[in-house]
Structure 1
Amino acid sequence: MDWKSKILAKEDESLYQHTENTLKVLKSLINSYQEVIEITKEEKFFEHLFYALFLHDIGKVAEGFQEELEGNKPWYRHEILSASFVSALELEEIYKKAICLAIVTHHKDIKELIYKYATYDIKSPAYTRYIENINSLGKNYWYVDKMFQNIDVLSEKYLGYKLKKLKLPRLDELIDPFRYCIKDYEDEFLDAEEKIYHGVYGIILKGLVNACDHLASAGKYEIKNAIIDMKSIYNFKNYKSTQRKAMRTKGNALLIAPTGSGKTEASLLWSDINQNKVKGRRVYYLLPYTASINAMYNRLNKDFSKQEDNLVGILHGKAQYFIYKSLSDDDSYTEKKEIAKNIQNITKKLYRPYKIMTPFQILKAFFRVKGFEVQLAEMSNGLFILDEIHAYDPHTTSLLLNILEILKKKYKANFFIMSATFPSFLKLLFKERLNIKDENEIYMSDSELGEIIRHKVNIFKGDIFQHIDKIKKDLIEGKKVLVVCNTVKRSQEVFKKLKKVTKNSQLLHSNLILKHREIVESKLKDSRLLVGTQAVEVSLNIDYDVLYTEPAPIDALLQRFGRVNRKGIKGICPVYIFEEGSEFDSIIYNEGRIQRTLDILKNYDILSEKHIQKIVDKVYEQGYTDKELKEFKRVDKYFKSLLNDLIPFVNNENIKEDFYGLFKSREVIPNRYRDDYIRCIEEKRYFDAMGYTLNISDKKYFILQKNNKIDKTKDGMPVVLCDYNDKLGLLIDKETDNFL
């Protein structure tokens, strides 16, 4: 048997082979992530990363670990022993300590290691145990020597040049990581004695050690790079002016263009011109809603498959469920579950060049949720496309701006900001904070915009119920009718009055369980009537003939208009806006903006796209309200303090709670499906169980709880004790909040 096979890192993989596999990933990273040297300001960064990977599992030669692989009781932490071998490195102390920290924390963070294994007191059981395990290396120490004698071969093959062979230290020369670097790590930071390993260098070093280790363990030894030539994917005979400018614009840019004008293609063409030579920059496409993300994932997967499969990943709270549901019904539940799990495991790693996600997935890193160093390392030099930017409230907008600023200043990222409706005050805010040049603003010309005329605006007095007969008349005449209400309860009431007029009718809102919402969305193309809430404003591939909508600010209305005559090939289609909504609209929208929207739209009959920006700016001429501005500044201040604590090697469980507090909703199941949910859980069909869930706001949850309408299953899942109808969704007597 070859010596390399005699010591194992895993049950089916030798230590030498696993180490070499991580170095294969390193070679791929060196090719794609050359800019990391500039970002970390360390010319020999990849050499330090090589040493960290070379040593990261070397402690597994210990007898105890080898016996554990054979099924014996759990042993010690191999990474503590592995980190001890930095004593063999001939580097400056600051780099040796950085490498030691990256190795020792590649499974557990500093706080957890200190709590269970700290060796500060030489009379402690932990110190005695450490020394015993150091001595247990002796039997297989020959293997370490063999590894050290091969470092020149491995470095030349994977680093690109030879490193000097390492001298094997005596056991008593090995460094105790706790005394060497862990003990002083946080104290140095708190005492304002920050070292290189407290900042970007340390974050990226730790992140890429974990990234290489995870990818090697998953059998992926080379990361995928981006599309070689995006113009070969979107090879149009005639590019729109915005697309032509986007494909020539380098650096941060901003695009304002109507729905259906090719913004997605423009953004991807921008990403292409801003790529590095090897197409190694990761591309992140950020969207505010799950439905938008799912639709974009399907679209890009289809488009990119012309060149290569598996380039696109998807990240949001229910991404794994979405992947599971997209798989063939020919496979069993177990097979589909494993496939979905494997797909998402790879997506979470530094592998796919395109990821579609919500901003909250990026926010995780800044709240120091476990794995944040891998996230930040991956996002280094990233290309970020932010779509539907108008959809974020002041709280989220402030968080976003702060994140983008840090990614720009410290991690050399670039951004493409785009929207169909972008108030000038908000545009200026993004331009100033991200240093977007005037020449990098991309618009359609007035002549192009003037040619896009899709809608005739009609404003009706009264509310929607006073005009039900008109809606029925359009349905009877065979028109495809879209009705948008501002609350779930109102949409349910309207649907009950209209559903019998046509067989092909659907109701869409957030208070449908997942499996019913999927059914509705699958039928939208053929439906003659769709009644919905703000849920229809997102990227659904729908096109109706006429719209009836409750009043809302101009940006929300324009999104609703965009679901009618989407491609502009139906001539001019009517959109009807009612002056009165429900009594709860003021909870959802600013009343002043609604009124200004209605007052301005009354001056228009035929609505040309060249009018849109002027209308949007008039509605938002006062910028944020006092309340919104106060929230924006509060978050701004909070985030600055958050960044002060952004150091590697330590997760922060307290801040982690703050992160999950950003999601102002709760996952619940209707009482009607309690037994179905429990049966799925008992049978370990967790994805099927997820199909019975829906989300309600925190506010609504606490009101229901106060009224004794919340129960819980044994596993802690909240159950709403309200009626549920398969077509209407969750039925709550009194509406007190906005449900999208």
Structure 2
Amino acid sequence: MVFKSIKDAYPETPKICGVPEFWEHLFYSIFFHDFGKAASGFQKALSGMEKWKYRHEILSAGFVSGLEYDNQPKDAIAMAIITHHKDVSYLREMFQTYPSPVGKKRYTEKLQELTPNFEELREIQRKIPEISGKYLGFELNKFRERESIEEMVDSYKNTVLPYKKQLENDELTSLHGKYGIFLKGFLTACDHLASGGKYGLLCGIEDMKAVYNFSEMRKTQSQASETKGDAFLIAPTGSGKTEASLFWSHANQNLSKSKRVFYLLPYTASINAMYKRLQRDFKDPELTGIQHGKAMYYLYRSFEDEEDYLIATEKAEQVKNLTDKIYRPYKIATPHQILKSMFGIRGFEQNLAEMSNALFIMDEIHAYDAHTTALILETLKILKEYQASFLIMSATLPSFLKEMFKRELGITTEISFTESELNEFTRHRVSVLKGGIFDNLDLIQKELDDNKKVLVVCNTVAQAQKIYTLLSEGIENCGLIHGRFILRDREEIESKLENLNLLVGTQAIEVSLNIDYDVLFSEPAPLDALIQRFGRVNRKGWEEKIIKPVYVFEQGSENDKYVYKNQEIVSKSLELLSKEDILGESRIQKLVDEVYSSGYQSSDLASFEMVKKNFPKFHSRIFPFINEKENKEEFYNLYQSVEVVPIQYKLEYLEEIENRRYFEAMKYVASISVGQYKKLMHNNQLEIDSDMIFASVEYSPELGLLLASEETILGIF
């Protein structure tokens, strides 16, 4: 049933991989993949009598020798079966498979263990025409059943070794490409879903306009609902981009609504919020999944209040495991979850198979640095080969980047407002103030005294901590937010953000947090970052034509140069803003383009070009059935942060670990940059215990980690 569901959901697969008989080959792969479990040793292991110390997949693949195909289909089916749990490198290392004499002897011995159940296996094989007729749609008869153990052929010897030799000699076949990826990926998906008690893929929303039943759609929403194929969507914060993107996904669905939809956002906080929102909007919580580095922890927290630890953990694992499979039609994720597949990390075949012909919504595409932007662009180019479609969204994307994406991906459609329509969303009066934040504390205090909801944004954590300490005295209902709180305290702060009189933060407030303040005071930053900060003030002011003030200081702190290395961009941004008063929404794109008129510069340009040059070469060395450990390390090096626990929570953390309450232990974890980690290591302020790093630094639940220096803050906000 899972097989039929996948076949119906992905009808374009044979064409994409260039193998018309693909579904026949997958059927045989599924049919034989567990035959090796009939071995007497495996059956004893099931009853707990003894460990078998062999792999059933190796024996299962031997039945492929009865298929009446040419060598390539037989090799493909055998490879999929042999590797559907472990890759070939693991099998060779752990089970001494061919070409070693020990491996040959062991295979022969284990093969004999099929003898007691061999007649029953023959009986099952005779049902191939009947079962294939039911689930494939026509009867298969390209098989001659094995009459004895002696007719079985060692598929590892006859298939895996030639496959690896072809790799070494650069004699690649279709099995080294999409054909192998789809066969391994869909076999794994069928096996995992059936094992999890799910016998079909869920399909998407039947009518998205019924979910968002607007009396009148905005122009961009209406255009998106009629747009077929790839497109850009450029629209202001708060103008209904999310609904527009979902209308686009609906317009590009197939008749059965089986295309998978990936909604990609840059930050964990915004992903969590979107997940919660779509679960509410779609009514059925099974339709939507969440994927990011701390997804299990987030899911655990959603069950924590209703259940005890073990039940909450079990429920979180069930939800996460199903999301990781080809099951839910909508997934909210970070681009890193997609990039992972490009690095050949275990399970990438299933992930790539799932992403074929999928619909990708790339939200907040402006938020990434040059290196990550290049990785995303190269990844989308690869997904294009799998017939994926893209809607790329932003409020503040420089035109040079937009044109580059359009050119490289062949995008010709842009959904946007006209200049006059954009100006309907105008909400801010911008002023550039002389001096820095410490020179203007009186002005901030005056706004607080006037009972305004005040937002202050600094560029470094240390600066934000100082300003918060100064301003919060005597202020009720205030908060500080940045990236150096332990998870427990960060969650507590985020839960109160909407109702604070004063919020001081870093770039953390740029990340789609649902907050709305009356006035902003910001340290200097590149224009696109400032626009995101402005968006946290007077979010819906355009509805009643209300204008509210946003202030930017001319000077930042001494350490800003470590955060924004291209200070020319910052200076140019301030120069342009100083000439504005009421910031018309239509002006924003023009100003952003003027700031970035030369495109990427210096280190940003070098980083972007390096990825563009090297990533295609790197990805061309990724092959199905093989997982390279080095690639995994390469991928995780993309994360420029290190998890630590403040030393004052060491006993609490270790106690939770000892009691196997791992998610409770995670509440004490904070993140620091790689540079800060190296500095603490140099100063002997770190110790490792139970695989966790404990930092001997002061920590305050109100202020977060109090680190001595900011030179290496970049990456942790």
Question: For the superposition of Structure 1 and Structure 2, which TM-score range results when normalised by the shorter chain?
Answer: over 0.9
How far apart, CA to CA, are the structure 1 residues paired with 2:233 and 2:307? Answer: 43
How far apart, CA to CA, are the structure 1 residues paired with 2:311 and 2:90? Answer: 36
Residue of structure 1 in register with 2:577 after alignment? 601
What secondary structure does 1:222 align onto?
coil
1:418-446 C-alpha deviation (Å, 9 max, x unpaired): 10001011011100110001xx1111111
How far apart, CA to CA, are the structure 2 residues paired with 1:234 and 1:189? Answer: 51
1:494 to 467, 483, 498: 467
1:267 to 237, 242, 245: 245
Matches within 5 A, 1:328-727: 329-409=305-385, 411-437=386-412, 440-568=413-541, 569=543, 571-589=546-564, 590-713=566-689, 715-727=690-702
Contact 1:156 1:162 in 2 (8 A): yes
How far apart, CA to CA, are the structure 2 residues paired with 1:119 and 1:54? Answer: 24
Shift of 1:490: 0.4
Shift of 1:581: 0.5
2:371 maps to a residue whose letter is: H
1:131-159 C-alpha deviation (Å, 9 max, x unpaired): 11112211111111111111122111111
What secondary structure does 2:403 align onto?
helix
Residue of structure 2 in register with 1:318 after alignment? 294
Contact 1:476 1:501 in 2 (8 A): no
**Residue 106, structure 1, aligned to residue 79, structure 2:** no
2:617 maps to a residue whose letter is: S
Matches within 5 A, 1:198-347: 198-305=176-283, 308-327=284-303, 329-347=305-323
How far apart, CA to CA, are the structure 2 residues paired with 1:500 and 1:193? Answer: 71
1:452-488 C-alpha deviation (Å, 9 max, x unpaired): 2200111111111111121112112111111100000
Matches within 5 A, 1:134-145: 134-145=111-122
Shift of 1:328: 5.0
How far apart, CA to CA, are the structure 1 residues paired with 2:551 and 2:576? Answer: 15
CA RMSD of aligned residues (A): 1.2
How far apart, CA to CA, are the structure 1 residues paired with 2:168 and 2:249? Answer: 40
Shift of 1:296: 0.7
1:233-261 C-alpha deviation (Å, 9 max, x unpaired): 11211111111111111111011111001
2:13 to 36, 41, 59: 36
Matches within 5 A, 1:108-147: 108-121=86-99, 124-147=101-124
What secondary structure does 2:279 align onto?
helix
Contact 1:472 1:501 in 2 (8 A): no
Which range is displaced more, 168-177 or 311-320? 168-177
Shift of 1:689: 0.5
Contact 2:99 2:157 in 1 (8 A): no
1:523-574 C-alpha deviation (Å, 9 max, x unpaired): 1111111100000111111100010100101110010000000011461100
What secondary structure does 2:192 align onto?
helix
Which segments of 5 or more consecutive residues in structure 1 lack a partner in the other structure?
1-23
What secondary structure does 1:355 align onto?
strand
Residue of structure 2 in register with 1:733 after alignment? 708
CA 1:257–1:573 in 2, change beyond 3 Å: closer, same or farther?
A: same
Residue of structure 2 in register with 1:8 after alignment? none
Contact 1:459 1:576 in 2 (8 A): yes
Residue of structure 2 in register with 1:45 after alignment? 22
Contact 1:255 1:416 in 2 (8 A): yes
What secondary structure does 1:228 align onto?
coil
What secondary structure does 2:285 align onto?
coil
Which segments of 5 or more consecutive residues in structure 2 lack a partner in the other structure?
none
**Residue 84, structure 1, aligned to residue 57, structure 2:** no
Which range is displaced more, 341-350 or 161-170? 161-170
1:590-609 C-alpha deviation (Å, 9 max, x unpaired): 21111111110111100110
Aligned pairs, how many?
710
How far apart, CA to CA, are the structure 2 residues paired with 1:279 and 1:609? Answer: 36
Which range is displaced more, 472-481 or 423-432? 472-481
**Residue 73, structure 1, aligned to residue 17, structure 2:** no
What secondary structure does 1:108 align onto?
coil
What secondary structure does 1:416 align onto?
strand
Shift of 1:126: 1.8
How far apart, CA to CA, are the structure 1 residues paired with 2:20 and 2:96? Answer: 33
What secondary structure does 1:696 align onto?
strand
Shift of 1:218: 0.5
Shift of 1:190: 2.6
How far apart, CA to CA, are the structure 2 residues paired with 1:533 and 1:731? Answer: 15
Shift of 1:119: 4.4
What secondary structure does 1:607 align onto?
coil
How far apart, CA to CA, are the structure 2 residues paired with 1:127 and 1:192? Answer: 27
What secondary structure does 2:183 align onto?
helix
Contact 1:87 1:174 in 2 (8 A): yes
Residue of structure 2 in register with 1:160 after alignment? 137
2:15 maps to a residue whose letter is: E
Contact 1:150 1:165 in 2 (8 A): no
Contact 1:544 1:564 in 2 (8 A): yes
Shift of 1:192: 2.4
What secondary structure does 1:132 align onto?
helix
What secondary structure does 2:583 align onto?
strand
1:609 maps to a residue whose letter is: E
Percent of pairs identical after alignment? Answer: 50
How far apart, CA to CA, are the structure 1 residues paired with 2:365 and 2:102? Answer: 56
How far apart, CA to CA, are the structure 1 residues paired with 2:264 and 2:369? Answer: 15
How far apart, CA to CA, are the structure 2 residues paired with 1:77 and 1:733? Answer: 54
1:81 maps to a residue whose letter is: L
1:219-278 C-alpha deviation (Å, 9 max, x unpaired): 011110111111111121111111111111111101111100111111111111111111
Shift of 1:331: 1.1
What secondary structure does 1:687 align onto?
helix
Contact 1:366 1:642 in 2 (8 A): no
Residue of structure 2 in register with 1:16 after alignment? none
1:355 maps to a residue whose letter is: K
2:600 maps to a residue whose letter is: Y
Contact 1:152 1:165 in 2 (8 A): no
1:727 maps to a residue whose letter is: E
2:183 maps to a residue whose letter is: L
Contact 1:243 1:263 in 2 (8 A): yes
Contact 1:248 1:273 in 2 (8 A): yes
**Residue 25, structure 1, aligned to residue 25, structure 2:** no
Contact 2:534 2:550 in 1 (8 A): yes
When the two structures are superposed, what TM-score results if normalisation uses the length of structure 1? 0.95
What secondary structure does 1:692 align onto?
coil
1:64 to 27, 41, 59: 41
1:43 maps to a residue whose letter is: P
How far apart, CA to CA, are the structure 2 residues paired with 1:612 and 1:286? Answer: 24
Shift of 1:489: 0.4
Contact 1:94 1:196 in 2 (8 A): no
2:31 maps to a residue whose letter is: F
How far apart, CA to CA, are the structure 1 residues paired with 2:170 and 2:345? Answer: 23
When the two structures are superposed, what TM-score results if normalisation uses the length of structure 2? 0.98
